[in-house]
Amino acid sequence: MNNIALLISGGVDSSVAALQLVEQGYKPTLFYIVIGPNENFDGYDCSMEEDIEMCKWIANRLNLNLEIVNLHEEYWSKVMEYHLNSLINGFTPNPDVLCNRLIKFGAFNDKFANDFDIYKEYANLVVHNRFDSEIKRSYYCAYVSRRLNKSYLHSLDEVLSTFPTQIIHHEYISGIFSAALGDFGFLVRTPHFEELEVIAHWILEC
């Protein structure tokens, strides 16, 4: 099984990336990078605590491991020092660009090398519509969701009794996630792509 590292912030983009990987049968390790304030850093600030709590919630819901990585020293020595010196000299650099190159794809990658770079492959999909890394696939997975305001041909009990081994998880989706993920979700897994399509269509049949 390939080892996948996914940087997560607790926001929508990285949370959906984690969900999509799980849907495709992968089990990435989630990493939250701590950069922190420059002075008197002896713990988490309020915003960081909220982000980490959200990351923990996502990891728990998707049954994934979460690791918190402290790259505070690297960020302030490689990114913010350059950024502040540039401002003093009348320039307006973008610290996010340096952070991506020197921290996410630099210091973090040096510490946690994995089988392939999921961000690079995502960029390949968006720009070139291709996935270059070689992956051995044991299962095809999909996330299928329902809306509570729609009537479906098959009840929840029918769905679960008809596909007891293919549906590996199901739950109500609450809060802000329901707008994007539906009100009730199923994680479906099967070795055969054709069967996956049949199950998804059966669940959604109205």
Residue 59 confidence (pLDDT): 93
Residue 46 confidence (pLDDT): 52
Residue 39 confidence (pLDDT): 46
User: Is the per-residue pLDDT at 50 higher than 70?
Assistant: yes
What would the 3-class secondary structure string for the chain be? CCCCEEECCCCHHHHHHHHHHHHCCCCCEEEEEECCCCCCCCCCCHHHHHHHHHHHHHHHHHCCCEEEEECHHHHHHHHHHHHHHHHHCCCCCCHHHHHHHHHHHHHHHHHCCCCCCHHHHHHHHHHHCCCCCCCCCCCEEEEEEECCCCCCCCCHHHHHHHCCCCEEEEEECCHHHHHHHCCEEEEEEECCHHHHHHHHHHHHCC
Neighbours of 63 (CB within 10 A): 11
Give the model confidence (pLDDT) of 85-105 as tens digits. 878 888 877 766 667 666 666
22-31, 43-52, 165-174: the lowest-pLDDT one: 43-52
CA dihedral over 68, 73, 79, 81, signed as positive or negative: positive
36-50, 88-102, 123-137: the lowest-pLDDT one: 36-50
Task: Please say whether the structural domain 5-128 has been given the CATH code 3.20.10.10.
Answer: no
Average pLDDT along the chain: 81
Q: What b/e string do you get for 181-202 counting C-beta neighbours within 10 Å, with b at 16 or more? A: ebebbbbbbbeeeeebeebeeb
Q: What is the pTM of this model?
A: 0.47
User: Is the per-residue pLDDT at 62 higher than 90?
Assistant: yes
Residue 201 confidence (pLDDT): 96
Domain ranges in the chain are 5-128, 140-204
